[in-house]
Structure 1
Amino acid sequence: MPEYRRILLDGAAVQVTVEGAELVAGDGRRVRTDEAHHLPPVAPSKVIAVHLNHRSRVEEFRTALRDTPTYFHKPVSALNSHQGAVVRPEGCTWLNYEGEVAIVVGRTARNISPDEAGEYIAGYTVANDYGLHDFRDTDAGSMLRVKGSDTLCPLGPGLVTGWDFHGKRLRTYVNGEVVQDGSTAEMKWDMHYLVADIARTITLFPGDVLLSGTPANSRPVQPGDVVEVEVEGLGRLTNRIVTGPTAIRADVGAQPTESEEVLSTALGGDWEFRGIRPPRR
């Protein structure tokens, strides 16, 4: 399956193809994969994410899915890349990973059926839909700051075409330990359904990204942690958590909170019975 990446090469954003341990630009320049400065593999006009989709995640929160999916929006300013630093702002505690598959649109799509949707998909990449749950109480359901803060949408390492999404394994690692282990087989709504659903009222343009949901066991990570998301056939997306250089301003807007809503989301549906809290550092 062909894989395309975007890297910074001699000061310019360049699309390259993967050839073994090297990345090859259209003009023949080569760079080792482990030495490349990666960029997000696509430049979307919008990033749209489904809320709940994986059966294990639904069971974890002791809830039930609606008959149809619901969504939220991540601004493109949240985009990040393979090997990029994910920033937890100073004064915040509840930054959670969420390993996912990202759908990349290849053709302008509007008012298409699920059966047609595959023709409008360019390919797939790996995503980590980070959530800054300290702001969950203040976003009134929009998830804007929770999911849309800077650096919270890493994509990569590359765009893979011709990938069959059925029955593929998805794993998230923190410091080398498996913390999420799921499969696309547990998704209620598949990739074609999600694209067709959104395209009923929102025109999707080439490069636009849809995030397809995460399995159970999204949990907080700390500065210094290395988080990796691996999807069978798509590769492994790696990021390191860092602390922001400045604290959240206290002279404007709602401040980070630690309500029951924040804790129950950050620590999973059964947090109160396990008494687990991440270390502060």
Structure 2
Amino acid sequence: MPEYRRILLDGVVVETVREGEELVAGDGRRIKVEEARHLPPVVPSKIIAVHLNHRSRVEEFQIKLGGTPTYFHKPTSSLNAHGGAIVRPDGCKWLNYEGEVAIVIGKTARNIAPDDAGEYIAGYTVANDFGLHDFRDTDAGSMLRVKGSDTLCPLGPGLVTDWDFRGRSLRTLVNGKVVQDGSTDEMTWDMHYLVADIARTITLYPGDVLLSGTPANSRPVRPGDVVEVEVEGLGRLTNHVVAGPAAVRTDVGAQPTESEEVLSTALGGDWEFRGIRPPRR
């Protein structure tokens, strides 16, 4: 399966093809994979994410899905890459990982049937749909700051074409320990359905990204943690969490909170029922 990566090479953005443990530029230059400075593999005009899709996640929250998916938007300013730092602003505590598969659009899609959606997909990449749940009380509907704050949408390391999404394992690791372990087979709505659903009323352009949902056990991470998302056939996306250099301004807007909704979402919806005190971070 061909894999394409965007990197910064000698100060210039270069598109490369992976050949074994090397990345090869169009002019023949080669660089070892581990030495490359990665960029997001695509430049989308929009990033759309499904709220809940994996059955294990739905069961974890003990809720019942509706008959169709719901979505939220992550601004393109949230984009990050393989090897990039995830910034947790000072004064915030509830930054959660969410390992996912990202769908990348290959040609303009509008009003297409699910059976035809595969023709409009360029390929897939790994994503980590980080969420800053400290802002959930104010942005629970839009998820704008929760999911759209700077650095919270790492994609990569590369774009893989001709990848069959069926029956693929998806794992998230924190500091080398597996914390999420799921499969694309537990998705309620598959990749083709999601693309066709959005394209009914929103035109999708080449490079646009759809995030397809996360398995159970999304939990908070703290500065110093290394978070990896590994998808069978797509590779491993690695990021590290750092502390923001400044606190969120207090002279404007809603402030971070620690309500029951914030804590139960960050900790999987179970802390208050099991007598578990939320960790202080």
TM-score by length of 1: 0.99
1: CA distance, partners of 2:112 / 2:120: 9
Identity %: 81
SS in 1 for 2:178: strand
Tell me the residue number matched to 1:126: 126
2: CA distance, partners of 1:252 / 1:279: 25
2: CA distance, partners of 1:84 / 1:77: 14
Kept in 2, the 8 Å contact 1:5–1:158? The answer is yes
- Which moved further from structure 2: 96-105 or 5-14? 5-14
Kept in 2, the 8 Å contact 1:100–1:126? The answer is yes
Structural mapping, 1:103-182, within 5 Å: 103-182=103-182
SS in 2 for 1:138: helix
1:276 CA displacement: 4.4
Runs of 4+ in 1 over 4 A off after TM superposition: none
Note the alpha carbon deviations across 1:34-63, whole angstroms, 9 max, x for none.
Answer: 010000000000000000000000000000
Tell me the residue number matched to 2:278: 277
How many residues end up aligned between the 2 structures?
280
Note the alpha carbon deviations across 1:122-169, whole angstroms, 9 max, x for none.
Answer: 000000000000000011510000000000000000000000000100
1: CA distance, partners of 2:179 / 2:47: 25
2: CA distance, partners of 1:165 / 1:80: 23
Note the alpha carbon deviations across 1:176-226, whole angstroms, 9 max, x for none.
Answer: 000000000000000000000000000000000000000000000000000
Alignment root-mean-square deviation, CA:
0.7
Tell me the residue number matched to 1:58: 58
- Which moved further from structure 2: 134-143 or 183-192? 134-143
Structural mapping, 1:71-82, within 5 Å: 71-82=71-82
SS in 1 for 2:217: coil
Tell me the residue number matched to 2:184: 184
* 1:84 equivalenced with 2:84 (yes/no): yes
Amino acid at match of 2:128: N
1:10 CA displacement: 1.0
Amino acid at match of 1:249: R
SS in 2 for 1:102: strand
SS in 2 for 1:271: coil
Tell me the residue number matched to 1:98: 98
1: CA distance, partners of 2:140 / 2:54: 23
Structural mapping, 1:186-205, within 5 Å: 186-205=186-205
Tell me the residue number matched to 2:20: 20
SS in 2 for 1:100: strand
Kept in 2, the 8 Å contact 1:220–1:278? The answer is no
Kept in 2, the 8 Å contact 1:77–1:150? The answer is yes
SS in 1 for 2:196: helix
Closer/same/farther in 2, CA of residues 274 and 7 from structure 1, 3 Å limit: farther
1: CA distance, partners of 2:228 / 2:278: 22
* 1:223 equivalenced with 2:210 (yes/no): no
2: CA distance, partners of 1:31 / 1:276: 48
1:277 CA displacement: 2.4
Tell me the residue number matched to 1:247: 247
* 1:44 equivalenced with 2:80 (yes/no): no
2: CA distance, partners of 1:279 / 1:157: 32
1: CA distance, partners of 2:195 / 2:171: 23
SS in 1 for 2:221: coil
1: CA distance, partners of 2:212 / 2:43: 18
Structure 1: segments with no counterpart, 5+ residues: none
Kept in 2, the 8 Å contact 1:267–1:276? The answer is no
